[in-house]
Structure 1
Amino acid sequence: MDVRQLRHFLAVAETLHFGRAAERLGMTQPPLSQSIIALERSLGAPLFARTRRSVALTALGEQWLPHVKGALAGIDGLDAVARRLRDGTAGHLDLSFVTTADYGLLPTLVRRYAALHPDVEIRLKEATSDVQIADLLAGRGHVGIVIPPGEGLPEPLGYRRLGSERLVAAIPETWLAEGRLALDDERLASAALIGAPLIIFPRRIAPAFHDLVTGFYAAHGGHARVVQEAIQMQTIISLVSAGIGIALVPESLRNLARTGVRYVDLVDAAPRLETGLVWRKQDDTPTLRRFLAIAADPEVEGPAV
């Protein structure tokens, strides 16, 4: 059978009259009758019960009719679907993100994109920057939110800065209660920071973030005393809550409320962590183009420098 035969069947089923069905289809009755006969032969059963005075659907024809209607409706909608896929208003977008974006940039971007393009499926994946870059170079995924590496990105990849935010100290509440740390006007002095055990991302996973933190220590005459490494920001905050050490984290982490943790500003000028988008320059996926355009909108720009 083919689509033409299905349309012939639908016309006869809806009119129950070969003459009127032929008129609707813009053809003569004999070829329409032959088309229905050929369709019935291919199915191995009659679709219509015919007499000289009437045409009626058989049980098979009556039960098959809604399936034919659904199939033809899908076929008729293919053109519109193709246009929406071409324009990036339908389809899917594979978006990966670093854990630090989960509490600031990511929700804003996703909310804005989903509101403008509700028919696009957004596939989210949390991953460190190095994993995201490797995936994109291997042809996996569309776009990622990363902390850009200090040495720059490989040539096949494009980059757009979203913003930067200052780092704040996440400290255990128990340390304040016990007097292990003292605040200066609700801020943490560099001397107190440098003397405390530190929880940090491994350098192999997030070299830019790692170097930003350790560079701050070096700039203030100290050396980071790393006691624990973790690759998830939630894990780092949990370790702070447990009293293992302190951490320097993006200010947006204040949105991650955790019992036993206090976020405080630094006395000295805090280092700033940059975050941006990375994608393959040659990727012409329509949903990606739409996403990049939305990300360039000031309404979704990250914290300003």
Structure 2
Amino acid sequence: MPEIRTLRQFLTVAEELHFGRAAARLHMTQPPLTQAIRKLEAEFGAPLFERTSRSVALTPAGQALRPAAEKLLADAQALTPLVQAAAAGQRGRVRLGFVSTVGYGELPRWLRRFREQHAEIELTLIEATLDVQLREFAAGELDAGFILHAPGAVPEGFESLAIVREPLVLAMSAEEPLAKRSRLRANDALGLPLVIFPRDIAPSLYDAVLAFYRERQATPRIAQQAIQMQTIVNLVSAGIGAAWVPEGMTSLQRSGVVYKRMTDAAPRCETSLIWRADAAPAVLRFVDHAREQVGSKGHT
């Protein structure tokens, strides 16, 4: 494989068709240039220039080499800015996991803005619950993720950014008599059958909901479990039971479902962005973007 320097010398001679002028452009004397071209011809086993005392011309082999050498040289020249951009987080890839609930908040707008501002970063979205995200992190298949959890209960071994902290509200069937009350206290609703997510997909939040019942000397009557919050709300619409959902989910309107905020107390949840401390620069660029968005909204 010829050296980049030698290919540059070949191209300069091919442009000038004069060894003296080519040597001057390359800031070298003519004999070393002539020697370099002869060595290149020996490597290829074919003459690249026809030389006479009055002229220099490309041979068919030289004509074939010229566009290929130009491409190789252009690719080589692009390597430095490519590497520098990647090191600065201006290029690269971010594989981003997210739980479905974040889609009802600011995330779509954030992603659109990030793509507009960082077109050279490939952003891949992967919808996954916390348990799935943790497995993908361990397998090296995820770079960052938005997760839902109890306040302060970020999985160990991750850096984190709190996106929003909010109460859970009670999604209820519109046919439920309690749904017709203008004011509802938590103790009034604790006897309703409950639709809830399995513990393994969000253990800290599941435990927080059950602790909320225990603190009030109540035991939840779990009528059904479902993984996705949209499915949970649909089951509420079908009259299966009531469900505690993040306040941000109230933008998901379903026929036959009303959302009730407790007037006294309710379990709380937190949405966070998590990533590894040794994440690639492009991932940290996304983290900085998320931090800016959180700051602009005044979240704590």
Tell me the TM-score range normalised by the shorter chain.
0.7 to 0.9
Shift of 1:155: 5.2
Counterpart in the other structure of 2:162: 161
CA gap of 1:54–1:237, structure 2 versus 1, over 3 A, is farther
Q: Is the 8 A contact 1:169 1:246 kept in 2?
A: yes
Counterpart in the other structure of 1:235: 231
Unaligned runs of 5+ in 1: none
Counterpart in the other structure of 2:32: 31
Q: Distance in 1 between matches of 2:178 and 2:208?
A: 24
Q: Is the 8 A contact 2:168 2:266 kept in 1?
A: yes
**Partner amino acid, structure 2, of 1:274:** E
Q: Distance in 2 between matches of 1:95 and 1:244?
A: 33
Q: Distance in 2 between matches of 1:155 and 1:10?
A: 57
Shift of 1:219: 5.1
Shift of 1:193: 4.2
In terms of mean alpha carbon deviation, does 188-197 or 153-162 score higher?
A: 188-197
Q: Is the 8 A contact 2:151 2:270 kept in 1?
A: no
1:200 aligns with 2:201: no
Shift of 1:261: 5.2
Counterpart in the other structure of 1:275: 271
In terms of mean alpha carbon deviation, does 111-120 or 92-101 score higher?
A: 111-120
Counterpart in the other structure of 1:262: 257
Q: Is the 8 A contact 1:169 1:188 kept in 2?
A: no
Q: Distance in 1 between matches of 2:235 and 2:70?
A: 59
Shift of 1:57: 3.2
1:85 aligns with 2:81: no
Q: Distance in 1 between matches of 2:166 and 2:5?
A: 61
Counterpart in the other structure of 2:291: 296
Q: Percent identity?
A: 43
Shift of 1:85: 2.0
Unaligned runs of 5+ in 2: none
Q: Distance in 2 between matches of 1:16 and 1:108?
A: 57
Counterpart in the other structure of 1:128: 129
Counterpart in the other structure of 1:48: 49
Q: Distance in 2 between matches of 1:187 and 1:46?
A: 92
Q: TM-score, normalised by structure 2?
A: 0.81
Shift of 1:6: 1.0
1:12 aligns with 2:13: yes
Q: Distance in 2 between matches of 1:49 and 1:199?
A: 84
What do the CA deviations read for 1:247-297 (whole angstroms, capped 9, x no partner)? Answer: 222222234455x3534223434432112222333x153223333333332
Q: TM-score, normalised by structure 1?
A: 0.80
Q: Distance in 2 between matches of 1:27 and 1:149?
A: 69
